[in-house]
Amino acid sequence: MSLGGSIINPGKINTGFIERFRELVLDRKEKFVIVCGGGRPVRDYQQAASRLGVDAKGLDKIGIAGTMFNAELIKEVFGKTASRKTYQKPQKTRFGKVLVAGGWKPGCSTDKNAVLWAKEYKATKIFNLSNIDMVYDSDPRLNKKAKPVKIISWEEYRKKIADKWTPGMNTPFDPVASELAARYRMTVYVLNGRKLDRLEKALDNKEFKGTRIEP
């Protein structure tokens, strides 16, 4: 799972969501790798740093630090069912129910980390939990007539987003991660993570409100 920081901390830590998310995960039979994003505080720090002249690599480093703060919170909430530490570099390791990770290297969002973790464990599905409901055929913030897309190929999806990563960019799944996911023939489920019933349906291969990006 790529767990968006916009859900963990949209300006205030969403303890209610975290409690419900923990309950859902612990009730499932699967094991999970959860890669945490940064959220609103990271964007605030990055905006301040940008005004102070920090370059793109430095902004990404600040973002990575913020993801690790969130990852530590999520790991501790899962207690003994979680990995013994929070991870950065994707790697094969033994863990119980949940492994929690944050950002690793500059030049991408934690979406790429989720793809790399999936590759390590030969997983073909990534569940991308953010604050948006679906992928649209155009930016709904700019086009009021934008239409939601239920299923889209990587080829078509990548035509709709920027080619390059910029720190703090807003896109359902970042361009660097998308290139890798397409290459490894993975399927990404884009859904509103706050609506956990949608996640359960997606996990159970049932009809859900969201978008499936697939090979």
Q: What is the pLDDT of residues 125-164, one digit of tens each?
A: 999 999 999 999 888 888 888 999 999 999 999 999 988 9
Tokens standing for 116?
């790399």
In the CATH hierarchy, which top-level class contains the domain 2-214?
Answer: alpha beta
pLDDT, one tens digit per residue, over 89-132 is 999 999 999 999 999 999 999 999 999 999 999 999 999 999 99
Residue ranges per domain, the chain? 2-214
Q: Is the pLDDT of residue 167 over 90?
A: no
Residue 45 makes CB contacts below 8 A (sequence gap 6+) with 62, 66
- In three-state form (DSSP H/G/I as H, E/B as E, the rest C), the secondary structure along 15-67 is HHHHHHHHHHHHHCCCCEEEEECCCHHHHHHHHHHHHCCCCHHHHHHHHHHHH
How many CB atoms are located within 10 Å of the residue 92 CB?
7
Q: Is the pLDDT of residue 44 over 90?
A: yes
